[in-house]
Structure 1
Amino acid sequence: MSAGNEETRRDTECQSGTEYFSNPLMSDVASDWSPIHDAAYNGRILALQRLIAQGTCVNLHTLDKVSPLHGACMQGHTACAKLLMENGANVNSSTADGQTPLTEACAQGHVTCVSLLLQHGAASLGTSQSSSPIHRAAAKGHPECIEHLVQYGADVDQHIDKVGSPLQVACNNQHLSTVKKLLQLGACVSRTASGDSLLHIAARLSSPELVSVLLDHGADRFSMNSEGKRPLDLATPSSPAERLLRQAGVSPGVSPLMQLCRLYIRKITGKQRLGGICDLHLPTALIQYLLYQSDLRGDLMH
């Protein structure tokens, strides 16, 4: 095959998403970092445009299978990511340890990049258990990323062996705003990957904030773990968390009946249809209450 034909074949395959290593003969990862990786990672859009115009493959990979798109998304350079995808970058390519551009963007909380990747066909569920975008966002505490992922089909209860659900990951890392967002989106409050419930985890961490929000979403304070202990048994004595667990677990100013009704309506609706509550012919205050956007504080008592 002539050099010209080889170059034509290579250009065609590059545009179709075929992976190319920047220098497969090099064993040193640092020396494997190419000019197009450098431009994408550092947000040098003009240099990136020039390299692409010169025919540099947008799917060039390092030996660790890091693509220029990975680099752009790690740093949140949306313009560079957009340019790469418009020129054929593989949006679902995986690194040697299974990370996609989307998981990298989620881990760093780059919401605009996350949205752009999803619009260009990034897999919201990930390409393997090790590349779950929603788990990465939950572990790092980025609720805005989680909201975008769910809009594009991510499952708030996606289970990973030995890790559990995104909600369990967020609880373990004590990311309260992320826990609230997942629960608001319909995450199951009782699902775990271990013998402890989420409330057991919150009690072990002695976190009154986590205990409160879990109870408010229907967590069972009398549930037993694999050791036969209740969450109360694990809380630090005389701590705010222990006091909450001894109480009814209902928000101040809201009757137990209202709380039970909210939990039942959300259960019957199902997490896939929670967004439809906004379209019901109900008072705005009641819709906000059902969606955990308001605790009412007596708004409906009058």
Structure 2
Amino acid sequence: MSDWSPLHDAAIHGRLLTLRNLINQGWPVNIITADHVSPLHEACLRGHLSCANVLLSHGAQVNGMTIDWRTPLYNACINGSQECVNLLLQYGATLHPESDLASPIHEAAKRGHVKCIESLAAYGADIDYYISHLGTPLYVACKNQQLDCAKKLLQLGASVDQGKGLDSPLHVVARLFSGELVHLLMDFGANAYAKNAEGKRPVELVPLGSPLFESFLEREGPPSLMQLCRLRIRKCFGIRQHHKICGLLIPEDLKHFILHL
């Protein structure tokens, strides 16, 4: 254990040659600070792929945890480095660590890192992974107004109505007055009549007479037959199987409609 080592310094600044020399001199790759921060944590936090690769190839612990439960994978999701995420996953990084205080997929959703979400999902991450104090990744993306992440999670098959307790993703975006996210969620079949813990529907969280309020009113009533068909087809394909829609013998425009492209 060390407060801060030359190995940490080389990793955080991406000094690959220095890192190699230090390892060859006998510096242990799993040396940690008092807070249990390893050189691998620092390399991933800054997105230094080559440094992370060298550390892992010399036996760095891929699932090492800091005292606040952060793993190298979590740090890579903070940075948004898909390359580091992929490398860590190849070395067996845990998708859902034992503590809910530092969830990689929630962090990626919070920060708008779509590519990281794609990689995590490809390796089997639960896109509806629920954490009591955070909710689902979709809820986190909506709460932080990360439109692209919300769309990617929905395209991957995330549950559109599962949020945080009784607060749905549609509730949180209505509260934030985010029109684009409201329309996105409703296109994916969000329940506009769901009530939160206060007994309020999403429409009751927006100002009366506002454009967003009018949008909610326009969506009242049953969905169109075309929308119902789209939602049904997507449901039949299930989570993370939507790429198979591309193989359907239907017109390209219809495929794009089903895929929300």
TM-score (normalizing by structure 1):
0.82
TM-score (normalizing by structure 2):
0.94
Contact 2:156/2:241 (<8 A) preserved: no
Match of 1:132 among 91, 103, 107: 103
Contact 1:223/1:230 (<8 A) preserved: yes
Match of 2:187 among 216, 223, 234: 216
Contact 1:65/1:95 (<8 A) preserved: yes
Match of 1:258 among 226, 229, 244: 226
Alignment of 1:291 with 2:256, yes or no, is no
Give the Cα–Cα distance (whole angstroms) in 2 for the partners of residues 249 and 126 of structure 1. 41
Match of 2:117 among 146, 162, 186: 146
Q: Percent of counterpart pairs with the same letter?
A: 50
Alignment of 1:173 with 2:144, yes or no, is yes
Determine helix, strand or coil for the equivalent of 1:129.
coil
Out of 230-239 and 281-290, give the one that drifted further. 281-290
Match of 2:38 among 60, 67, 85: 67
- Using a 3 Å threshold, how does the CA distance of structure 1 residues 224 and 242 change in structure 2: closer, same or farther? same
Q: Who is 1:201 aligned against?
A: 172
Q: Which runs of 5+ in 2 are unaligned?
A: none
Compare relative contact order (CA 8 Å, sep 6+) and give the higher one, 1 or 2.
2
Contact 1:206/1:239 (<8 A) preserved: no
Give the Cα–Cα distance (whole angstroms) in 2 for the partners of residues 219 and 146 of structure 1. 21
Give the Cα–Cα distance (whole angstroms) in 2 for the partners of residues 203 and 80 of structure 1. 43
Report how many aligned residue pairs link the two structures.
260
Q: Which residue identity lines up with residue 245 of structure 1 in the other structure?
A: F
Out of 59-68 and 189-198, give the one that drifted further. 189-198
Contact 1:212/1:249 (<8 A) preserved: no
Out of 235-244 and 154-163, give the one that drifted further. 235-244
Q: What is the Cα-based RMSD across aligned positions, in Å?
A: 1.7
Please report how far the alpha carbon of residue 228 of structure 1 lies from its aligned counterpart in structure 2 after TM superposition: 2.2
Q: Which residue identity lines up with residue 225 of structure 1 in the other structure?
A: N
Determine helix, strand or coil for the equivalent of 1:115.
helix
Within a 5 Å distance, the mapping from 1:1-302 to structure 2 comes to 21-22=1-2, 32-248=3-219, 256-293=224-261
Please report how far the alpha carbon of residue 275 of structure 1 lies from its aligned counterpart in structure 2 after TM superposition: 2.9
Contact 2:132/2:165 (<8 A) preserved: no
Give the greater-gyration-radius structure (CA): 1
Contact 2:44/2:84 (<8 A) preserved: yes
